[in-house]
Amino acid sequence: MNNQQDIGNILYKWASDLFPINRSITGQGVRDTLLYLQNIVPELEIKSIPSGTRVFDWNIPKEWNISDAYIIDPKGNKIAEFKKNNLHIMGYSVPIDRTISFNELNKHLYSLKELPTAIPYVTSYYKEDWGFCLSQNERDALTDGDYHVFIDSTIEMGVLNYGELILPGLSQKEILISTYICHPSMANNELSGPVVTLGLINWLKDVNNRKYTYRFVFIPETIGSITYISINYNLLKERVLGGFVVTCVGDDNNYSLLESKFQDSIFDKIGKHVLKHHTNNKYKTYSFLKRGSDERQYSSVGVDLPIISLMRSKYYEYDEYHTSLDNMEYISPNGLSGGYTIHRKAIEILENNETYKINTICEPQLGKRGLYPLQSTKDTQEQVELMMNIIAYSDGEMDLLSIADKVDGDFFICKTIADKLINSSLMVKVNG
Amino acid sequence: MNNQQDIGNILYKWASDLFPINRSITGQGVRDTLLYLQNIVPELEIKSIPSGTRVFDWNIPKEWNISDAYIIDPKGNKIAEFKKNNLHIMGYSVPIDRTISFNELNKHLYSLKELPTAIPYVTSYYKEDWGFCLSQNERDALTDGDYHVFIDSTIEMGVLNYGELILPGLSQKEILISTYICHPSMANNELSGPVVTLGLINWLKDVNNRKYTYRFVFIPETIGSITYISINYNLLKERVLGGFVVTCVGDDNNYSLLESKFQDSIFDKIGKHVLKHHTNNKYKTYSFLKRGSDERQYSSVGVDLPIISLMRSKYYEYDEYHTSLDNMEYISPNGLSGGYTIHRKAIEILENNETYKINTICEPQLGKRGLYPLQSTKDTQEQVELMMNIIAYSDGEMDLLSIADKVDGDFFICKTIADKLINSSLMVKVNG
Amino acid sequence: MNNQQDIGNILYKWASDLFPINRSITGQGVRDTLLYLQNIVPELEIKSIPSGTRVFDWNIPKEWNISDAYIIDPKGNKIAEFKKNNLHIMGYSVPIDRTISFNELNKHLYSLKELPTAIPYVTSYYKEDWGFCLSQNERDALTDGDYHVFIDSTIEMGVLNYGELILPGLSQKEILISTYICHPSMANNELSGPVVTLGLINWLKDVNNRKYTYRFVFIPETIGSITYISINYNLLKERVLGGFVVTCVGDDNNYSLLESKFQDSIFDKIGKHVLKHHTNNKYKTYSFLKRGSDERQYSSVGVDLPIISLMRSKYYEYDEYHTSLDNMEYISPNGLSGGYTIHRKAIEILENNETYKINTICEPQLGKRGLYPLQSTKDTQEQVELMMNIIAYSDGEMDLLSIADKVDGDFFICKTIADKLINSSLMVKVNG
């Protein structure tokens, strides 16, 4: 993966392949999704946890599978066909094969008045029920009469699946990168998450001498993270410093940050830094009160990991969210590439952030070391100023990211300058 | 006392009864006022401290009593009659019975150019003098000639009185609620204070299992609180957590908060919370630099109690302040009821604020406990969100008030939700 | 020096005398400048450090002296004459006596397109070169042809000079006041600095019982402070609390503050207090990121002194900066007097700031001590309020400057009131 456009195209291709699969929190769709991912990164391990397993306050639910579903209207037309769009069927619908009145059917229909062409996404994981979702327009056209409803599904003891991949680093300290794989055919939320995460793995596995160990997790949302934490609790508490829930990283709209519960963790600082410099300070910040994904579990009392999300259009905050309009047209190669880039930059800052100590007293003489420009232009002047500022604040206490924020410089430019100072023996790493 | 309107009417009735009494920092008016209060709450103890007693840097002054006073103008008309309005006589006026010229009289007259119909409130506690207060209009009508001034007062060794009432609670830790009873016929400042305090006692004495002990004090301002602190210094330092000076709680204008000297005490937090939610964030905040009542003593160096005032129109800040226009028309049943309610809410928060710890790891499953609404509406959604937030922050460190402020929820709604979580055994009180 | 106008005139006179001298970081001009200063304050010691001496990362450069320099144009006219304006010659120009083409000459000319009448100030201390500076207008008038360039300068082993003066105080703890003497004929930057510093010495040496010891330093910028720190490192680290770089204190424009690296040091607090009250809150604040003088060395990692600058128009921030337009017309007696006053006030606050403890419990009775005005006016009311506030916050922890800032009062007015309270035995100094 070489340039931004290539990366965007590859991520978009993966999303297109995964789009038609009918995912839920359990079932064949999750497995098919994980197998597709494993085909690209064979190091991905696929795990299975049996239905009924106790995970903290929850039990792993039975496995749901579905092969077909539709309604036959009074005129004999098939409508709300599962095979045309898997959003037509409420997730975890129980099987049914019955003729009922319109009035009875109507209690099981879901649509959106405010988005009349969209099929809404609805589930009922923990209450036995069945339902069909359709556009308001389609619903409005229904007439009185008898309807045949048919859902060929099973809800049986089975497993909950998730994927896990560890990229070891020089330190046992870990960064958690978690994304979810439980939504049927929707693109920004959620397919953008797994494909950008896959892209990050593909890049990061070739990075030499990783400082940190990276723990990538592909799980069904909520029950998946609860399960994962239940199985790995001690390990997470001992090793994981915090991390990212990767979601909603595929569209071309503005960027946004969901802060961690702790607000000022290193992940918050990195997230703000990356978005500020990547977007010229044009991004939205949401507090942890606006959370809505697996940080709810990873940051819960007793787990307490600082987790942020770096997003494009945040879940809940765009009209197409959780409808059939969040489709492959809503996301784009360019949108995905941006989502990938901000995460990659965040990881690069994690990997490259160091604390330095200048080893002269008073300012060093840059000129005799070739660090002072012979010709003074506005650009060279800014570079010198930045170098002098890095020298002024590199006291062995303040890390480079904090210095970059202090002097309002981009981390990567500051890093280049710090490297020059290291190479000129003017500065040393502290505990690095 | 059942509803807001009833309470307002009762408080207004008490204020009307007390209004005509001629109070000062000592004297029969103070005793009559305390006896009236004692008639309603017999538990009130009336204390007497002899004139001349040393209280820190001060001495209890002699007792002032007055039976009649007036001026007879050159035409033989009685003006500035004490019996018509006790504000006509400067507080602590020495006796006099003499005919003097207009010029000499004029040096002893007080009026307000900017409020020509108002009689100002003037005192001279510590400098022997006499004076008459009258409206600017009345003063302007005076002509040259001889005036007979008559004040039938006594300034003699006696006592300073105050009232004290302790409502014991489960803890010996105390909340101080102090109000003052030294102003003649004025309504917002000061009668609203004692009657609202009386209302609070009437309510609080019937509250079962009070967490804190409540110390109610009815004193003359300044010399009274100095006296009270002098007598109770060790006890106040050992037991009292802080509290309220109840004053200016009777009119219908905006609410206001006087912050404590410490600005971020639990009383400040509670005061801000109550006023924010009671007024939809429409209230004024004054810093301790704008103080003007007994918090000056209770928060002085060496006493150092955090004391706030929750007010309607603050002293100094309304035109009618310290004049005959601060009368029974300036306050209202509705105004008093509001002043009562904000104090009651503040006390209810003190009594009900707890620190909780959620006892699941990861979010609990609300549905199986009937805590998740079957039908999702905007209202139920907000309730669920609030519950999830209380769960997220109940870490055994953050108290419920801080959580309510964090999530921008009303304390009492949060408390209801916390109770549900307690009842579902999802949460436990910490040190509670 | 009695009043503001006298002081301004004296400072202006000194600046006028010093203006024509050709200063650089070394050479006879520096010595002549120091001798002039020593003539006024004979306690000033003049130090000499040999060329080639190692000072941290630097070496003291050779000494530069120049007796004459000019260009003869093709028509035989002398231009860019050193004797007319010493800014015409680039500082540290090597000697030359040669006829060259216009094209070759042009590479050694410096002018300012945006200020066509100004001669810019240019130096080349550490790279051997020569150059002439002239106005853009003068440069534009040059024609093709042969030019004779003549610079009669020497760059030889010699010394770097600086001046030092210690005014001892009751404490060995020191305040550093540093100013620089390396610029040729420019007035705001830099001559205002040394003359205001001289004025401060003249005043401060007659102040009895100075609390602190004052260390005044007159040095060439950058290499001078590096040299000074190199020689006095241990002493500075042990004794100096921080201080001031005095610069740009001569013009009539707005005041400005350069914050210390530490932002909230006592020097920052004093600087802000003085400028706020001296300017009615109309001054500019620059962060340490906008530094540009010897605080770069004094606050460097390992030296770490809190240093501020109290200025009028800050270096870099006015058009005339580092040009021939920063001349004796750019500054004024009034401007210098203002620069002097803010420094004097800052030092007076340092000398007079104390921590007090009130020794009554509850408010003292001011009346019996004559501290309460008999007639209450707006002015006396404000005085009483200020006194009550000083009483309320003098808890033995908060110093008077912090109290003044808290109550938004001027330090010197607060000091007068504190003295009254001390004299009435109501307050004692803590550790003072």
User: Residue A380: what pLDDT?
Assistant: 83
Provide the pairing of β-strand C307-311 with C427-429.
unpaired
Confidence of residue A39 (pLDDT cuts 50, 70, 90): very high
Helices (H), C208-252: 223-239
User: Residue C1: what pLDDT?
Assistant: 47
Q: Does residue B369 come out as left (phi exceeding 0), alpha (psi in the -120 to 50 range) or beta?
A: alpha
What is the CB neighbour count within 10 angstroms for residue B140?
A: 11
Extended beta strands in B294-424, E state: 307-311, 355-358, 395-399
Provide the pairing of β-strand B255-258 with B174-180.
unpaired
Sign of the Cα pseudo-torsion (B187, B191, B196, B198, in order): negative
Cβ <8 Å between C57 and A391: no
Cα–Cα dist C265/C77, whole Å: 57
Please report residues of A whose CB lies closer than 8 A to that of C219. none
User: Residue B378: what pLDDT?
Assistant: 76
In this structure, chain C runs to a length of 432
Confidence of residue B340 (pLDDT cuts 50, 70, 90): very high
> What are the structure tokens assigned to C342, written together?
């803010």
pLDDT average, residue stretch B121-131 = 94
Confidence of residue C432 (pLDDT cuts 50, 70, 90): low
Cβ <8 Å between A57 and B363: yes
pLDDT average, residue stretch C361-387 = 88
Cβ <8 Å between C300 and A362: yes
List, as one string, the DSSP characters of B26-54.
SSHHHHHHHHHHHHH-TTPEEEEEETT-E
Cα–Cα dist B386/B405, whole Å: 12
Give the one of B361, B389, B408 whose C-beta lies nearest to A56's C-beta.
Answer: B361
Contact in structure between B194 and B181 (CB atoms under 8 Å): yes
A interface mutation test: which of B362, B365, B384 has the most A CBs within 10 A?
A: B362
Please report residues of C whose CB lies closer than 8 A to that of B226. 362-363
Q: For C364, which residue in chain B has the nearest alpha carbon? A: B57
> What are the structure tokens assigned to A313, written together?
């259009």
Establish, for the pair of chains A and C, how many residue pairs have beta carbons separated by less than 8 Å.
56
User: Residue C168: what pLDDT?
Assistant: 98
User: Residue C380: what pLDDT?
Assistant: 83
For residue C322, which of C181, C128, C224, C185 has the smallest C-alpha distance? Answer: C185
This prediction has a pTM of 0.95
A373: buried, middle or exposed (CB in 10 Å: 19+, 13-18, 0-12)?
middle
What is the CB neighbour count within 10 angstroms for residue A400?
A: 23
Confidence of residue A1 (pLDDT cuts 50, 70, 90): very low
Cβ <8 Å between C297 and A362: yes
B59-112 pLDDT, tens digit per residue, is 999 999 999 999 999 999 999 999 999 999 999 999 999 999 999 999 999 999
At B234 the three-state DSSP class reads: helix
Confidence of residue A4 (pLDDT cuts 50, 70, 90): confident
A72-100 pLDDT, tens digit per residue, is 999 999 999 999 999 999 999 999 999 99
Confidence of residue A432 (pLDDT cuts 50, 70, 90): low
Please report residues of B whose CB lies closer than 8 A to that of C357. 301
pLDDT average, residue stretch B281-308 = 98
Distance from the B409 Cα atom to the nearest Cα atom in chain A, whole angstroms: 12
C335-354 pLDDT, tens digit per residue, is 999 999 999 999 999 999 99
Cβ-proximal residues to A16 (8 Å cutoff; 6+ apart), any chain: A328
C300-335 pLDDT, tens digit per residue, is 999 999 999 999 999 999 999 999 999 999 999 999
**Cα three-residue angle B177-B182-B184, rounded to 5 degrees:** 130
In this model, does residue B432 exceed pLDDT 60? Answer: no
Q: Which residues of B touch C (CB under 8 A)?
A: 55-58, 126-127, 222, 225-226, 229-230, 233, 261, 288-289, 296-297, 299-303
Cβ <8 Å between B56 and C362: yes
Distance from the B140 Cα atom to the nearest Cα atom in chain C, whole angstroms: 22
> What are the structure tokens assigned to B121, written together?
């409130």
Cβ <8 Å between A302 and B361: yes
Q: For B403, which residue in chain A has the nearest alpha carbon? A: A289
Distance from the A10 Cα atom to the nearest Cα atom in chain B, whole angstroms: 35
> What are the structure tokens assigned to B255, written together?
């609410």
Confidence of residue C5 (pLDDT cuts 50, 70, 90): confident
C232-273 pLDDT, tens digit per residue, is 999 999 999 999 999 999 999 999 999 999 999 999 999 999
Cβ <8 Å between A357 and C261: no
Rg (CA), chain A: 25
What is the interface pTM, i.e. ipTM, of the complex? 0.94
Please report residues of C whose CB lies closer than 8 A to that of B56. 360-362
User: Residue C2: what pLDDT?
Assistant: 57
How distant is the alpha carbon of residue A89 from its chain centre? 25
Give the one of A362, A391, A396 whose C-beta lies nearest to C303's C-beta.
Answer: A362
Cβ-proximal residues to C403 (8 Å cutoff; 6+ apart), any chain: C389, C390, C393, C394, C409, C414
Which structural domains are found in chain B, ordered by start?
A: 4-61+159-352 (3.40.630.10), 64-156 (3.50.30.90), 355-429 (1.10.10.10)
In this model, does residue B1 exceed pLDDT 50? Answer: no
Cβ <8 Å between C301 and A394: yes
Give the one of C126, C230, C303 whose C-beta lies nearest to A367's C-beta.
Answer: C126
Q: Does residue A217 come out as left (phi exceeding 0), alpha (psi in the -120 to 50 range) or beta?
A: beta
Average pLDDT over chain B reads 96
Cα–Cα dist C146/C173, whole Å: 62
Cα–Cα dist A15/A331, whole Å: 10
Cβ <8 Å between A301 and B364: no
Q: Does residue C68 come out as left (phi exceeding 0), alpha (psi in the -120 to 50 range) or beta?
A: beta
B189-206 pLDDT, tens digit per residue, is 999 999 999 999 999 999
Contact in structure between A173 and A239 (CB atoms under 8 Å): yes
Cβ <8 Å between C57 and A362: yes
**3-state secondary structure string across chain A:** CCCHHHHHHHHHHHHHHHCCCCCCCCCHHHHHHHHHHHHHCCCCEEEEEECCCEECCEECCCEEEEEEEEEECCCCCEECCCCCCHHHECECECCEEEEEEHHHHHCCEECCCCCCCCCECCECCCCCECCEECCHHHHHCCCCCEEEEEEEEEEECCEEEEEEEEECCCCCCEEEEEEECCCCCCHHHHHHHHHHHHHHHHHHCCCCCCCCEEEEEEECCCHHHHHHHHHHHHHHHHHEEEEEECCCCCCCCCEEEECCCCCCCHHHHHHHHHHHHHCCCCEEEECHHHCCCCHHHHCCCCCCCCEEEEECCCCCCCCCCCECCCCCCCCCHHHHHHHHHHHHHHHHHHHHCCEEEECCCCCCCCHHHCCCCCCCCHHHHHHHHHHHHHHHHCEEEEEHHHHHHHCCCCHHHHHHHHHHHHHCCCEEECCC
In this model, does residue B338 exceed pLDDT 70? Answer: yes
Cα–Cα dist B396/B394, whole Å: 6
Give partners of A (≥3 CB pairs < 8 A).
B, C
> What are the structure tokens assigned to C344, written together?
């004097």
- Could you tell me the strand order of the sheet in which B255-258 lies? B45-50, B159-167, B213-219, B174-180, B240-245, B307-311, B255-258, B283-286
Give partners of C (≥3 CB pairs < 8 A).
A, B
